[in-house]
């Protein structure tokens, strides 16, 4: 129970603090810095805020001003403050995941083991937070949203969700699964997709969509949408008043229209690189969203009853098929992995094999990427082929997880008892 979680948290904290201290050494002694380049951007933006200026005067600052405000102690106290804040958010996310697992019916030892294996002792989240990346704060808000939704605290969930979308746009994709999940509770366990609340549902496509829409207009869904929308709107209006169009352009619009032609894990990067100067470049960038949207819609309808599992699949699909994909994006779905592990019944051998394939896919991509970035060799084609292989591996892993998912099992039973 809590003693086991406390030991895991202690070990995770020591490991992260050790990495933070090592990072200070490497930054001063080696040419390649340990600290994420974005952390310097955060700190420069925070310094501008302390001087009463816009954080968007710092080139490449593409985030909410709220983050720059949170990191003003980097200027007033010590530059390492932000890393410690991200580490704290990292550990807090594990605590929320543990409590969510316990609520979903997992035994104390199992919940602790899932949190330790998938998050607390996972090298990737450790590296991301200790290098000064803010993804842990978004992970905390996302986990808190799911925790409160499943606990029936719709207002608290909506506040966390509004903050999460303000920090990063990707949780916006959870809106449909959350709405379907809330309406299924309102209908007493039967979802709008099943038409369980209306025995006279029309068996036409238009009638189906109308029934789906009407059944989502219940009190919980409207409360969640109103509160989350109000939080997001209030933050947007406030920061627009302070920083004008620069805020909207860099915090929101940039991420919707972004076309990153630098090498990354995305299968689309080479196409966007080759068509960067083409008149079709913008249209191709928007078209890249279509496979994502179709897959997210299907997953939402199929798995909304288990909200955590649905959001995990959502995020894994969104990241794998996104037109920009870097290593830090993997944290977006890894934070949800502890919640789904008890529901995925596969052998340790199969699980280790899938994990091995995932790391091999990254390694095969990193090799040509290293020769491009540090040796100057033209390896774009090899990077793209490795990216396609990595997409295939991710898709295979997602299919394996779905095929070994024990539908609703103890989750639905536990939640119905509450």
Asked if residue 264 has pLDDT above 90, the reply is no
Burial (Cβ within 10 Å: 0-12, 13-18, ≥19) of residue 355: exposed
Q: Torsions phi, psi of 378, nearest 5?
A: -85, 95
How confident is the model at residue 208, as a pLDDT? Answer: 61
Nearest to 288 by CA among 305, 304, 272: 272
The answer on pLDDT for 248 being more than 50 is yes
- For 384, half-sphere exposure in the C-beta direction (CA atoms, 13 angstrom radius) is 14
Please state, in angstroms and as integers, the Cα–Cα distance from residue 385 to each residue in 62, 260, 291, 388, following that order: 29, 17, 19, 5
Task: Concatenate the DSSP letters of all residues of 173-220 into one string.
Answer: GGHHHHHHHHHHHHTTT--TTTTTT-TT---SHHHHHHHHHHHT-SHH
d(CA 174, CA 57): 32
Contacts of 101 (CB under 8 A, 6+ apart): 110, 111, 114, 115, 338, 339, 342
Residue 41 has pLDDT above 90, yes or no: yes
Distance CA 267, CA 84 (A): 34
pLDDT band per the 50, 70, 90 thresholds, residue 348? confident
Q: What rounded mean pLDDT belongs to the chain?
A: 86
pLDDT attached to residue 266: 83
**Quick one: pLDDT at residue 289?**
80
Is residue 73's pLDDT more than 90?
A: yes
Please measure the distance between the N-terminal and C-terminal CA atoms of the chain and give it in whole angstroms: 21
Q: With 80 as the cut, is the pLDDT of residue 285 above it?
A: no
pLDDT at 212 over 50: yes
| The pLDDT value given to residue 315 | 95
Q: What is the mean pLDDT of residues 60-72?
A: 93
Q: Which two tokens stand for residue 135?
A: 């993804």
pLDDT tens digits along 133-173:
999 999 999 999 999 999 989 999 999 999 999 999 999 99
Q: How far apart are CA 61 and CA 42, in angstroms?
A: 7
pLDDT at 300 over 50: yes
Q: What is the pLDDT of residue 381?
A: 87
Q: Which of 82-86, 228-232, 325-329, 412-416 is predicted with the least confidence, judged by mean pLDDT?
A: 412-416
- pLDDT of 397 reads 96
Residue 55 has pLDDT above 80, yes or no: yes
Mean pLDDT of 332-336: 94
Kindly report, residue by residue over 81-112, the tens digit of the pLDDT.
999 999 999 999 999 999 999 998 888 899 99
Q: Which helix (H) or strand (E) is 304 found in, with range?
A: none
Write the CB contacts of 48 (distance below 8 Å, at least 6 apart in sequence): 54, 55, 57, 58, 68
Residue 1: per-residue pLDDT: 56
Residue 188 pLDDT class (50, 70, 90 cuts): low
Quick one: pLDDT at residue 122?
92
* CA distances for 258 relative to 166, 283, 372, angstroms: 17, 12, 22
């Amino acid at each position: 129970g809590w003693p086991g979680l406390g030991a895991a948290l202690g070990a995770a904290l020591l490991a992260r603090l050790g990495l933070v201290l090592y990072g200070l050494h490497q930054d001063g002694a080696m040419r390649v810095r340990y600290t994420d380049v974005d952390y310097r951007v955060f700190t420069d933006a925070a310094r501008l805020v302390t001087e009463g200026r816009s954080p968007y005067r710092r080139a490449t600052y593409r985030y909410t001003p709220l983050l720059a405000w949170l990191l003003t102690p980097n200027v007033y106290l010590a530059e390492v403050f932000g890393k410690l804040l991200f580490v704290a958010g990292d550990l807090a996310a594990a605590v929320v995941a543990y409590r969510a697992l316990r609520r979903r019916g997992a035994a104390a030892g199992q919940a602790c083991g899932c949190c330790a294996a998938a998050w607390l002792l996972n090298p990737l989240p450790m590296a991301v937070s200790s290098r000064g990346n803010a993804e842990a704060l978004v992970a905390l808000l996302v986990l808190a949203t799911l925790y409160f939704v499943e606990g029936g605290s719709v207002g608290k969930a909506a506040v966390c969700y509004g903050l999460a979308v303000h920090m990063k746009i990707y949780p916006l994709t959870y809106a449909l699964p959350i709405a379907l999940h809330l309406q299924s509770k309102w209908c007493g366990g039967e979802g709008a997709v099943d038409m369980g609340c209306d025995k006279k549902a029309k068996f036409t496509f238009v009638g189906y969509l109308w029934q789906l829409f009407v059944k989502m207009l219940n009190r919980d869904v409207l409360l969640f949408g109103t509160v989350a929308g109000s939080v997001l709107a209030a933050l947007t209006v406030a920061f627009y008043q302070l920083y004008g169009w620069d805020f909207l352009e860099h915090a929101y619009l940039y991420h919707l229209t972004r076309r990153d032609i630098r090498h990354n894990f995305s299968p689309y990067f080479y196409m966007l690189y080759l068509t960067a100067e083409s008149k079709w470049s913008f249209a191709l960038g928007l078209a890249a969203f279509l496979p994502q949207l179709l897959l997210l819609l299907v997953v939402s309808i199929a798995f909304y009853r288990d909200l955590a599992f649905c959001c995990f699949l959502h995020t894994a699909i969104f990241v794998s098929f996104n037109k920009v994909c870097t290593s830090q994006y993997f944290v977006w779905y890894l934070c949800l992995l502890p919640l789904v592990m008890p529901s995925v019944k596969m052998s340790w051998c199969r699980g280790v094999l899938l994990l091995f394939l995932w790391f091999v896919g990254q390694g095969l991509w990193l090799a040509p990427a290293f020769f491009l970035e540090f040796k100057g060799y033209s390896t774009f084609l090899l990077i793209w082929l490795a990216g396609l292989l990595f997409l295939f591996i991710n898709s295979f892993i997602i299919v394996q997880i779905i095929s070994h998912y024990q539908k609703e099992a103890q989750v639905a039973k536990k939640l119905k008892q509450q």
